[in-house]
Amino acid sequence: MQKKWFCLLVLCVSFSMIWAQQKPLPDFFIHRGSKNAVVISWANNFGDECIQLNVQRSFDSVTNFKTIFSTPAPQLPTNGYTDRNAPEGRVFYRIFYMLNGGAYYFTVSKKPEESAAIASKDSGNLATSPVLVNPTSSTNSMVSKNKTGNILVTLKTSDMYNYKMVIYNLVGDKVLYTVKQFPDATLILDRSTFLRKGRYRFQILYNGEPKENGYLEIN
């Protein structure tokens, strides 16, 4: 009887691992912000199947990784974390995912990129130049693009829990997804989350009131 249950458990875990391998592995993005803080953001392609997500840090790219943050909402399509105690010098980060059924894996390790606000030497333009069409004030927009082509959201005030962001589909008649709560005043939205190139309408609300409307150009 015990042998039967053991075989069944092995079979379930094997199916879970095969399912996980067939899914596209989510990537994560990382850069150094102000006061040497490291901003990490990720996309989760597994939805509710993801039951645990940890951010880990190490001084080399292979061993001695330690968990520094475990998100309370691993199922969110995008999320982020700011390591305000990041050491100076050589440091690496990776993300650990666990799925229903016991399957788990680690992303590749990455070093923090330079701040997204640093000017690009090749183009001569700021990496945070506006990428939206906003009839009111695009120069003061909270939404921009970083140098890797992903969407950078920088909130105006530090009370990030009062903000909410709604992104609509390409047609603009349905909600694609909602950032119900910002984990930090800075959030990077992975462009692969949008699946298709094009212009996506967005709205940022503060205390339930519209704060900014515009468009995200995904290319």
Within this chain, do residues 156 and 102 fall inside the same structural domain, yes or no? no
Within this chain, do residues 34 and 77 fall inside the same structural domain, yes or no? yes
H or E segment to which residue 106 belongs: strand 104-106
Opening angle at CA 132, ends 130 and 138, nearest 5: 60
User: For residue 18, which amino acid is it?
Assistant: I
On whether the CB atoms of residues 45 and 27 are closer than 8 A, the answer is no
Q: Bridge-partner residues for 209, per DSSP?
A: 206
Within this chain, do residues 94 and 161 fall inside the same structural domain, yes or no? no
Residue 77: CATH number of its domain: 2.60.40.10
Structure tokens at 194: 């949008």
- Among residues 153, 213, 142, 136, the alpha carbon closest in space to that of 189 is found at 153
Within this chain, do residues 94 and 151 fall inside the same structural domain, yes or no? no
On whether the CB atoms of residues 128 and 144 are closer than 8 A, the answer is yes
Within this chain, do residues 45 and 95 fall inside the same structural domain, yes or no? yes
Distance CA 165, CA 130 (A): 17
Q: Is 131 within the bounds of a domain? A: no
Within this chain, do residues 42 and 96 fall inside the same structural domain, yes or no? yes
Within this chain, do residues 144 and 211 fall inside the same structural domain, yes or no? yes
Within this chain, do residues 89 and 37 fall inside the same structural domain, yes or no? yes
User: pLDDT, tens digit, for every residue of 119-146?
Assistant: 233 333 222 223 333 333 345 889 988 8
Within this chain, do residues 101 and 175 fall inside the same structural domain, yes or no? no
On whether the CB atoms of residues 157 and 11 are closer than 8 A, the answer is no
User: pLDDT, tens digit, for every residue of 147-160?
Assistant: 777 888 889 888 88
User: For residue 71, which amino acid is it?
Assistant: T
User: pLDDT, tens digit, for every residue of 162-178?
Assistant: 999 998 887 777 888 78
Domain of residue 36 covers 24-106
Q: Is 172 within the bounds of a domain? A: yes
Within this chain, do residues 82 and 150 fall inside the same structural domain, yes or no? no
Alpha carbon of residue 23 to chain centroid: 17
Q: Is 127 within the bounds of a domain? A: no
What's the structural domain count of the chain? 2
User: pLDDT, tens digit, for every residue of 39-65?
Assistant: 888 877 788 889 999 999 999 888 889
Q: Is 124 within the bounds of a domain? A: no
